[in-house]
Amino acid sequence: AQKITQTQPGMFVQEKEAVTLDCTYDTSDQSYGLFWYKQPSSGEMIFLIYQGSYDEQNATEGRYSLNFQKARKSANLVISASQLGDSAMYFCAMRDNDDMRFGAGTRLTVKP
């Protein structure tokens, strides 16, 4: 079974609007971490936001927030007020006791 699933290969959003990128995960561990990374066309992976499995509040970092629903095993990334520079690949990742796994990614395109 896939440990990390990103079901949206591509997403479009109008500049200044909000967008949600989906991520579901699978683990039997009680303690794990969830991460989102951005990969622009330059290729570098940029850390955006972290959510711990024991964190009761959803993580926020500036325009990024993580909608963490533990019972549903989902960790969706919400980007508010999209900017043209947000156009990139976005990867969800999970670290459990076994290893770190990445999803297949979602390509976000922000339209002017």
Partner 1 sequence: EAGVAQSPRYKIIEKRQSVAFWCNPISGHATLYWYQQILGQGPKLLIQFQNNGVVDDSQLPKDRFSAERLKGVDSTLKIQPAKLEDSAVYLCASSLEWMVGRGDMTDTQYFGPGTRLTVL
Interface with partner 1 (CB under 8 A): 4, 29, 31-33, 35, 37, 42-47, 50, 52-53, 91, 93, 95-97, 99-105
Pairing between strand 106-111 and 10-14? Answer: parallel
And the tokens for 55?
A: 């964190």
Q: Given the complex with partner 1, which of 99 and 112 has the nearer CB atom?
A: 99
Smallest separation, CB 55 to partner 1 (Å)? 9
Taking alpha carbons only, the member of 18, 16, 25, 15 closest to residue 104 is 25
Q: Given the complex with partner 1, which of 43 and 112 has the nearer CB atom?
A: 43
Angle at 67 between CA 16 and CA 100, to 5 degrees: 110
Smallest separation, CB 30 to partner 1 (Å)? 8
Residue 84: phi and psi, rounded to 5, are: -55, -35
Smallest separation, CB 95 to partner 1 (Å)? 5
For 59, other C-beta atoms within 10 Å of its C-beta total: 20
Q: Given the complex with partner 1, which of 63 and 107 has the nearer CB atom?
A: 107
